[in-house]
Structure 1
Amino acid sequence: MNTPTSPSGTERTARPVLRVGALVPLARPGWTEAGRHLLAGLTLAVHDVNEAGGIDGRPLELVVRDTAADPRRAVAAVDELAELGVAALAGEYHSVVARAAAGRADVLGLPFLCSSAVLDALTEEPTRWVARLAPPQSRGWRAYADFLLGAGHRRIAVATQPSVYWASGARILREHLAPRGGSVADLDMAALDPDGMCGALAEDGATALLLLLGHPDPAVPVVEAVRRDRRLAGLTVGAPAGQPEFAEWARLLGGDGTAIPFLRYLPDRLTPLGERVERALRQRLGTAPSFVAFEGYDTITVLADVLRLAGGGADRARTAASWPRVDVAGTRGRIRFSRTPGISVWQWDGAPVQVVDRDPSAGDRFRILHTG
């Protein structure tokens, strides 16, 4: 799948295009709504860069590949895009997929700016080729654990599926909660159906259940089962991975999907650029843009700066060497990269972190519960 973004004006089309590869989940089992928002942000930013004159007069073109949440498919896409001569890679939402793509980009020496994935260990070893906009999972999930503690929860249950991402999240929660008097009980959804999980949960006595589960299945059936089980009245259901962020969640669950705290990466107030971009994204998407759409826009904004710093993107090594020189105004704050202890890639340390939920009195409205 190619998504070219054509510049306006004949003076711009005379210069050869500068291609950027984009990895986006657009087919199941990928989280397609997240992919659509990510792509909307990426393409809007490409349009804006080209309207402003491109990169040293060269228009940007986005070459999109659908990862469908498949790490092997993502690796094949990275190989293909490298052969096509892209100056850099952008995007991806799913952490396990982004990790596979980042590892391959590191091997090939292809600059990759990861938009949304949060796994701390995005590459096995420190790399100069990869940078990331989303906060690392350890930071976001510790903030979520602080929110739980502040709300009085000490006994936490997690409904889990087999995944490096979910296992990493459960470990972060357990390590952060234990010294503060909290505990985490695992409910393996590979062995339990939703009703069986409710029975185990009622016996456990946990006051909060966290959904470390894929969306829509099995997360949606689990929420439905919990909400109709009288034994679990008053139980807090949480979704740190952000499942309730998107409209599909509200459509499938209605009122049952409200009051479920989740992580999102937005500030209390967008920058002036962010306010303009929010209006444009809303028009493109036909709904309020998620934080993932802003991550997409900021990705291209940063890459445009990196490519200019590197003299136009012809030299990939020079492009990767420009990560620490980035200093740009994004939609959610000033973006600069640094080396963070325990993180193998160049990291934006200033990424905002919030815990929010959907307001039970108005499901399309979000309430900010905690800022990390």
Structure 2
Amino acid sequence: MVQGAALGLGVTTPSSFRTKRTDGSAVLIGALLPLTRPGWVEAGRHLLAGLEQAVRDVNDAGGIAERPLELVVRDTAADPQKAVAAVDELDSLGVAAIAGEYHSVVARTAAARANALGLPFLCSSAVIDALTEQPTKWVARLAPAQSHGWRIFADFLLGAGHRRIAIAAEPSVYWAAGSRILKEYLAPRGCTIAEIDMRSLAPAAVCDHLADSRATALLLLVGHPEPAVPIVKSVRRDERLAGVLIGAPAGQPEFAEWAALLGEDGTAIPFLRYLPERLSPYGVKVETALRERLGEAPSFVALEGYDSMIVLADMLRSQGVNRTRIAEGWAGVAIEGTRGPIRFSRTPGSGIWQWTWPPVQVVDRDPAEPGRFRILHAG
């Protein structure tokens, strides 16, 4: 059962997320998702689909000690303050744990609040390394740390022969962290990095900077659809930049909206996705169910949502609903997820429990068939 969200995913406004009273029989899990603008709504919709499908499957298998699992959904709209309010409300409702969130800046704020409240939080999709300021037992993450995935992307660039690279970046903690990871990894390996500050430049001006830098690759560390889509269109139409590779390590081309807005211009743009080369039979079964639920091919974000919920369900079965026991149980997780075996550990420099590591691919959309993804590199 899902509180505050229809199973058909027809949720678009904050007023749709009112909480109903529960009789106390269900085990409540909170969900933080960007379901309205300026959040990345398509990512939130896929994440929600995965969470919902897992709740359905857990309940079909008997629930948690014969108690149904129930999802309490709250929309963050990519707003850190909304996330804080949502965590406070979910805490007051008595949820056993929280899952979800896609945007890194929002996830950081939610993690800090969950830590302060002593509320277990399994971050599904946000990748920023510094998810918490201090080590904590209350927070774990399924998505790979940004430094892990983005170094794999950098290895792809090096293998493809790119040594002059431009980075078009907007100001944010997340984009700044990504830019720093790339520069620290690529510069010692003989690369020249040109930074393009997107705070005051139009897409046409980006083209001029790119041409002047003689870069062979442009990396988009910017939001979607603005300004990513107009930048891609401008670069594609500039004859000076015909041989320039456009890359989007944050994964903007993953979702159908990218292909709908850009068509052929949106192909051959490498990005990171967190999938194995081939899904297991279990993964294929879940993917099929998610495709039916969404009415389109599920992204890896949908699978992150599904895996988050089955991890929490496994912990609830073994640890019960006591929050402290749940938070002390991350190290004991050993289950088969949709994308491989899931286990958590403490990684150097991280204060959280981390799945080490989800599969990482660099892929792009095939120009001959934009709905098909080509695997370019894996790590």
- Per the alignment, residue 245 of structure 1 pairs with 254
Letter in 2 for 1:361: A
Letter in 2 for 1:364: G
Paired residue secondary structure (2:47): helix
Paired residue secondary structure (1:369): strand
Cα–Cα, structure 1 residues 14 and 219, in superposed 2: closer, same or farther, change >3 Å?
closer
Q: Residues 338 and 349 of structure 1 are in contact (CA less than 8 Å); yes or no, is this contact kept in structure 2?
A: yes
Q: 2:232 aligns with which of 223, 230, 242?
A: 223
Q: 2:338 aligns with which of 314, 320, 331?
A: 331
Task: Find the aligned partners of 1:232 and 1:145 in 2 and give their Cα distance.
Answer: 21
RMSD: 1.2
Report the identity percentage.
70
**4+ runs of 1 displaced by more than 6 Å?**
none
Letter in 2 for 1:369: L
Q: 2:120 aligns with which of 111, 115, 140?
A: 111
Q: Residues 4 and 61 of structure 1 are in contact (CA less than 8 Å); yes or no, is this contact kept in structure 2?
A: no
Asked whether 1:68 is paired with 2:70, we answer: no
Task: Find the aligned partners of 1:285 and 1:141 in 2 and give their Cα distance.
Answer: 29
Paired residue secondary structure (1:191): coil
- Per the alignment, residue 360 of structure 2 pairs with 353
Task: Find the aligned partners of 2:366 and 2:56 in 1 and give their Cα distance.
Answer: 34
- Give deviations 1:40-73, integer Å, cap 9, x for gaps: 0000000000000001111000000000000110
1:2 CA drift (Å):
1.3
1:227 CA drift (Å):
0.5
- Per the alignment, residue 300 of structure 1 pairs with 309
Task: Find the aligned partners of 1:46 and 1:277 in 2 and give their Cα distance.
Answer: 12
TM-score (norm 1): 0.96
- Per the alignment, residue 107 of structure 2 pairs with 98
- Per the alignment, residue 17 of structure 2 pairs with none
- Per the alignment, residue 68 of structure 2 pairs with 59
Paired residue secondary structure (1:99): helix
TM-score (norm 2): 0.94
1:183 CA drift (Å):
2.2
The gaps in structure 2 that reach 5 residues or longer are 8-21
Task: Find the aligned partners of 1:356 and 1:288 in 2 and give their Cα distance.
Answer: 16
1:344 CA drift (Å):
1.4
Task: Find the aligned partners of 2:281 and 2:89 in 1 and give their Cα distance.
Answer: 37
Q: Residues 274 and 330 of structure 1 are in contact (CA less than 8 Å); yes or no, is this contact kept in structure 2?
A: yes
Q: 1:18 aligns with which of 27, 32, 42?
A: 27
- Give deviations 1:146-194, integer Å, cap 9, x for gaps: 0000000011101110000000000000000011101221101112110
Q: 1:173 aligns with which of 171, 175, 182?
A: 182
Paired residue secondary structure (1:176): helix
Q: Residues 264 and 354 of structure 1 are in contact (CA less than 8 Å); yes or no, is this contact kept in structure 2?
A: yes
Paired residue secondary structure (1:278): helix
1:4 CA drift (Å):
7.7
Task: Find the aligned partners of 1:136 and 1:304 in 2 and give their Cα distance.
Answer: 23
- Per the alignment, residue 368 of structure 1 pairs with 375
Paired residue secondary structure (2:32): strand
Task: Find the aligned partners of 1:156 and 1:96 in 2 and give their Cα distance.
Answer: 26
Task: Find the aligned partners of 2:313 and 2:262 in 1 and give their Cα distance.
Answer: 40
- Per the alignment, residue 154 of structure 1 pairs with 163
Q: Residues 271 and 330 of structure 1 are in contact (CA less than 8 Å); yes or no, is this contact kept in structure 2?
A: no
- Per the alignment, residue 37 of structure 2 pairs with 28
Q: 1:136 aligns with which of 129, 140, 145?
A: 145
Q: 2:349 aligns with which of 319, 342, 353?
A: 342
Q: Residues 4 and 62 of structure 1 are in contact (CA less than 8 Å); yes or no, is this contact kept in structure 2?
A: no
- Per the alignment, residue 3 of structure 1 pairs with 5
Alignment of 1:161-310 (within 5 A): 161-310=170-319
Task: Find the aligned partners of 2:141 and 2:214 in 1 and give their Cα distance.
Answer: 39
Q: Residues 120 and 344 of structure 1 are in contact (CA less than 8 Å); yes or no, is this contact kept in structure 2?
A: no
Letter in 1 for 2:191: G
- Give deviations 1:91-133, integer Å, cap 9, x for gaps: 0000110010001000000000000000100000011000000
Q: Residues 157 and 185 of structure 1 are in contact (CA less than 8 Å); yes or no, is this contact kept in structure 2?
A: yes
Task: Find the aligned partners of 1:62 and 1:272 in 2 and give their Cα distance.
Answer: 26
Task: Find the aligned partners of 2:170 and 2:118 in 1 and give their Cα distance.
Answer: 33
1:3 CA drift (Å):
3.2
The gaps in structure 1 that reach 5 residues or longer are 6-12
Letter in 1 for 2:343: R
Task: Find the aligned partners of 2:209 and 2:200 in 1 and give their Cα distance.
Answer: 12
Letter in 2 for 1:176: Y
Task: Find the aligned partners of 2:34 and 2:6 in 1 and give their Cα distance.
Answer: 18
Asked whether 1:81 is paired with 2:90, we answer: yes
Count of residues paired in the alignment: 363
Q: Residues 24 and 93 of structure 1 are in contact (CA less than 8 Å); yes or no, is this contact kept in structure 2?
A: yes
Paired residue secondary structure (1:89): strand
Task: Find the aligned partners of 2:90 and 2:232 in 1 and give their Cα distance.
Answer: 40
Letter in 1 for 2:194: A
1:350 CA drift (Å):
2.5
Task: Find the aligned partners of 1:199 and 1:298 in 2 and give their Cα distance.
Answer: 44
Letter in 1 for 2:4: N
Letter in 2 for 1:218: P
Task: Find the aligned partners of 1:155 and 1:26 in 2 and give their Cα distance.
Answer: 38
